[in-house]
Structure 1
């Protein structure tokens, strides 16, 4: 591969890291809202927060502003892997498949774009899953060690499987988000070109429109994967020390049965509010980096 082929990977990773720093406190509130009120997990039965703002204020007062950024380094590490692979794979694979079509890639093809996005999202998320587990554990507030010690403790107590806990719904969620978000962004950007041109205002509007659909589609899977990642099972025991979810379907059923269907949309507001700014920061950064092509 030539040097130019690697640039979507590098720019995607850099833009993802910038966006992560800008929106991480919102992600922390989302995670804490998603794990509260679980009948099956005695650690998180209590409803501590009434919403995103309440969670933000209480966390800041009780634990300090730094608590809102607890887990930022595994999040940055995640974006350095997940973001790099996801966006680089999407744009590179789309280019390869477009060149093989009869039209030579002169027109955007929704089915091709959706397939490339879903594959890139699921594949990259599965690889980066351990960093996601670390991030969730640290955001919840139960894990106070630094990145390396937290990683070592999960591996020691729960084994390799602990680092890939929740990989199923995580990959499914990432594939779903990418399948909605990336083609939607490309389509919106193309539709707005005559009016706004290839300018930051176009990138801003396209990012906002793309984030709404992906937030609606992905929040239930996000709730499930957060709860699966936060639960612990010792590697040397056949029976868990507490009741845990057996998998994606069991978590879905238990959540709906014990808390109602709307529990699958816990954290929706911060999810959406984070996706909007995250996409804005990412795509504007990415588009500016593309000027170096």
Structure 2
């Protein structure tokens, strides 16, 4: 059978699985949406600190606690939730696409949702999911980042926006369509290794926990091992991609949208010139602290939602 025929056959099988309810399909979208909402609710305050640490120099914030105290003192506790509307609305679409693509990429490699993929196949599926997910993640991240750093804009007297819709309208009016896809290639560069590590870390930990069960069935794991596995996935995500995330944040908060793809190297050079290697890890500790509960909730919500819907994980 030719490669094209094999691919078509696998796609056909996938559609049949989805229609019969044994595969992911719409269940991935529903479970991914719920997981994304849980992630934002738990992790956004620390994400705000992380982004501000990445973009502002050491002369603005001495460290995560200084950033936290200044934010709460000057903007109130709700200042930690700036930019939350963008990921809260967009995360449903982003996580749905992410988990669906991941599920589909696994099935393409194994031939059936019923076959357990190897960790190598998990890594490839995660990388594919990250690449596709960038299409939606890039504008959502752009709006989130630019809203989160309005602390500096308010101090400098620059324009500020009350939410993602006015900001998105402003960016399109100023720069056209590329204004809303600002930093797309930087997002792609981060999402591929990040999600490859994200899913691999989660699956590795989940299978380790399942080894303690009599039948080794990962679908029988309880909430605690699922959350611990999610935390491993989250730490893996940031460890694999953090310097790229710093570059992405800097690019998306620049004065004008960059062109081409070479701007990633330019941004990296600028960060190194200003702060040295440590500039690529500003806010890393905050990200790790944040991701432990956020990723735990994300994966546990997804897995339990899929079980409730009768889908395969």
What TM-score, normalized to structure 2? 0.82
For structure 1, which segment, 201-210 or 21-30, has the greater mean C-alpha deviation from structure 2 after superposition? 201-210
Deviation of 1:107 after TM superposition, in Å, equals: 4.0
Deviation of 1:234 after TM superposition, in Å, equals: 7.8
Q: Which residue of 2 aligns with 1:33?
A: 53
Q: Which residue of 2 aligns with 1:127?
A: 136
Q: Which residue of 2 aligns with 1:43?
A: none
2:101 and 2:132 in contact (8 A); partners too: no
Q: Which residue of 2 aligns with 1:19?
A: 39
Q: Which residue of 1 aligns with 2:66?
A: 54
- Please report the RMSD computed on the Cα atoms of aligned residues, expressed in angstroms: 2.2
- Distance in 2, matches of 1:132 and 1:73, equals 11
Q: Which residue of 1 aligns with 2:6?
A: none
Q: Secondary structure at the match of 1:128?
A: helix
Q: Which residue of 1 aligns with 2:181?
A: 164
- Distance in 2, matches of 1:199 and 1:140, equals 39
For structure 1, which segment, 19-28 or 76-85, has the greater mean C-alpha deviation from structure 2 after superposition? 76-85
- Distance in 2, matches of 1:135 and 1:107, equals 36
Q: Which residue of 2 aligns with 1:257?
A: 273
For structure 1, which segment, 113-122 or 125-134, has the greater mean C-alpha deviation from structure 2 after superposition? 125-134
Deviation of 1:289 after TM superposition, in Å, equals: 0.8
- Distance in 2, matches of 1:234 and 1:92, equals 33
Given the alignment of the two structures, is residue 79 of structure 1 paired with residue 91 of structure 2, yes or no?
Answer: yes
Residues 1:78 and 1:234: Cα distance change in structure 2 (over 3 Å): closer
1:158 and 1:232 in contact (8 A); partners too: no
- Distance in 2, matches of 1:73 and 1:231, equals 21
Deviation of 1:187 after TM superposition, in Å, equals: 1.8
Q: Which residue of 2 aligns with 1:248?
A: 264
Residues 1:246 and 1:258: Cα distance change in structure 2 (over 3 Å): farther
Structure 2: state its 5+ residue gaps. 1-14, 154-159, 214-219
Residues 1:106 and 1:147: Cα distance change in structure 2 (over 3 Å): closer
- Distance in 2, matches of 1:208 and 1:149, equals 35
Deviation of 1:171 after TM superposition, in Å, equals: 1.4
